[in-house]
Amino acid sequence: MKKLLNDPADVVVEALAGMAAAHPGQLRVDLDHKLVLRADAPVSGKVALVSGGGSGHEPLHGGFVGRGMLSAACAGEVFTSPVPDQILAATTAVDGGAGVLHVVKNYTGDVMNFEMAAELAGESGIQVEAVVTDDDVAVQDSLYTAGRRGVGVTVLLEKIVGAAAEEGQDLASCAALARRVNEQGRSMGIALTSCTVPAAGKPTFELADDEMEIGIGIHGEPGRSTEKLAPARDIAARLVEPVVSDLSLERGEQVIAFVNGMGGTPLLELYLMYGEVQRLLDDAGITVARSLVGNYITSLEMAGCSVTLLRADEEMTRLWDAPVDTPGLRWGG
């Protein structure tokens, strides 16, 4: 295993300390609870967004803390859910009196621990709503989930709903918007290589040099099938077609198209893949209203990518364009 580490047991805390040092005016970090918080949190009268999950998916979630996105993120150990005490501490720290929205990816541990934390927060008088993302069309159930996995839509949801909270929408409106984004978005991924969890010291799964895994999860879970490596145009079709089908997208509709890297794929290849994705959408008469390309929800150093399509309405597009200022995503005034 070749990684830039000191002790594998300390990787999360040391990474969070480095994040705090790199973004002192933007974030503050609670190393005891492994939390990343907006520097100005709590913001009085504003709905707070709290998310989190296992580390190893950076910039998700800590890199999306800041103006226009999350108020706080809880960092579990690598590929391990944050615990209820962490989530409760984050919820309490950022509550500005307007309630807190939990954004939870559909993994069994995440769902259970966020539910426990929400109950505890409610007992202390904090109003909490939760939305669970489950956009992965690859498999219905997996090693970590009952039902579909939460993947790329999580990033788009945090941006869009974060903008809604920033402009003053109330908790019920933010929660309803979050559910609508989740319902209108779907994702599918592929892996060319495995990744190596620092504590394990060896690859999570094996792929031959001429093989790819179609429908991979962000923790290295198996997908639909292991197949021979194919040209990018064919891989793009294998990812786009099930997403378009599951969403029942029709000619004339608009989407936000997101081509995401899994951590080990260079932008050269991701932009090539985006070109293939847009060509397929153009051929289907589907308009790309907005796009995002890059490493945003990763799986350590896994090579591969995922495609997320979100059926876009006018409100979603407007909120997507709203200013955002986080370490992982930044545009606007």
Q: Which positions are catalytic?
A: 57, 219
Give CA–CA dist 120/128, Å, rounded. 10
Residue bearing tokens 């908790």 = 171
Instruction: Provide long-range contacts, Cβ within 8 A and 24+ apart, for 274-280.
Output: 276/232, 276/233, 276/235, 276/236, 276/237, 277/236, 277/239, 277/240, 277/307, 279/233, 279/236, 280/236, 280/237, 280/240, 280/241
Give CA–CA dist 330/68, Å, rounded. 9
The set of residues, in sequence order, having a beta carbon less than 8 Å from that of 116 and lying 6+ positions away, is 84, 87
Q: List C-alpha distances in Å: 112 to 56, 75, 89, 96, 157.
A: 20, 16, 16, 25, 21
Q: List C-alpha distances in Å: 269 to 210, 223, 234, 276.
A: 17, 21, 14, 11
